[in-house]
Amino acid sequence: MIFGSIGLVLMIGIVIAGAVGEPNSTLVFILFALVMSGALVLFMAWILHRRVRVFSGKLERRCEGLMPVGTVLGIDAAALSVGPETYAWPMLALDTVALSSGSVASGETSTPILIVERLSVTARGKTFVLDRAMTENGMLLVDNAWRRLRAATPR
């Protein structure tokens, strides 16, 4: 929206400048502005449609394996609570870990970091998925679960 608005203001400014500078070519400037505005609108609509399609595809994939809506998750020093059931940290095993990369500014340089986006944890034949983006307080839950599982896992 911002780029489109800036582009439209610039085109209007060019049309006005062209009409003032060369009154005989006003129609050409107006037609040029209309064609360029149409092209800009079509391009922005195409980008929006593509982003929505990509987001919807990612959303479907991220929802796979999540617990039902309203399931209460709790993490403390002793265990992970999923609904009414409690699982001690030594009983849990990591099934899969999804990571993303990023960077943190540190002075004049940046330090690359890995972020745990999604954990798949198994216990007593059940698999639980903790997703950073799709779970309420997901950032805290996933980070704390990752730290506790790492501490409870023998190396």
Q: Establish if 128 belongs to a structural domain.
A: yes
Tens digit of pLDDT per residue, the chain (155 long)? 677 778 778 778 877 887 787 878 778 878 887 888 888 889 989 999 999 998 888 877 777 888 888 888 888 888 888 888 898 888 888 888 889 898 988 888 898 989 898 999 998 888 888 888 888 888 888 888 888 888 877 66
Per-residue pLDDT of 11-50, as tens digits, reads 788 778 877 878 787 788 788 878 888 888 899 899 999 9
Q: Is residue 68 part of a domain?
A: no
C-alpha torsion sign, points 135, 137, 143, 146: negative
- Residues 77, 59 share a domain: no
Other beta carbons within 10 Å of 13: 11
**Which structural domain, as residue segments, surrounds residue 105?**
73-152
Q: Are residues 96 and 139 in the same domain?
A: yes
Look over the chain and give the mean of its residue pLDDT values, rounded to a whole number. Answer: 84
Positive/negative CA dihedral, 34, 36, 42, 48: negative
